[in-house]
Amino acid sequence: MFSNILQALVEETGGGIGAVLMGYDGIAIDQYFQPCDGVDLQLVAVEYSNILKEIKKAGEILNTGAMEEVAIRTERFYVVVRILSEEYFVALTIDSNGNFGKGRYLLSRDAGKLKEALA
């Protein structure tokens, strides 16, 4: 179930490279990655999960409300993270020349499907 949703996210996003459904503990529930030279996208997701925990904690301390989405832009990639629950998030990696806006839209659209599948 998850793999079909993740694959569609990647393939429908112009420049989509990979998507991973992951817990804040850094353990992937499911993933779909296209070949990407020189980058271990699984490792990227694990490392970003640690950063997300800190952002989540800061939001709680500052009383700014629940974290919904985080976007990270590097020279090579965009990584868009959509929070699904207190325990899980989905991260979409897009080539820097890809369609960031469409990726955000698709994550928002499919978040409900992923939440249902997690229940």
Between 51 and 9, name the one with better pLDDT.
9
All domains of the chain in start order, with CATH: 2-112 (3.30.450.30)
Q: How far apart are CA 98 and CA 52, in angstroms?
A: 23
Q: What confidence category does residue 25 fall into, taking pLDDT thresholds of 50, 70 and 90?
A: confident
CA 20 to chain CA mean position, Å: 6
What does the pLDDT read at residue 84? Answer: 94
Paired residues of 28 in beta bridges: 22
What does the pLDDT read at residue 11? Answer: 96
What does the pLDDT read at residue 79? Answer: 93
| pLDDT at position 65 over 90 | no
Mean pLDDT for the chain overall:
90
| pLDDT at position 92 over 90 | yes
| pLDDT at position 36 over 90 | no
What does the pLDDT read at residue 17? Answer: 94
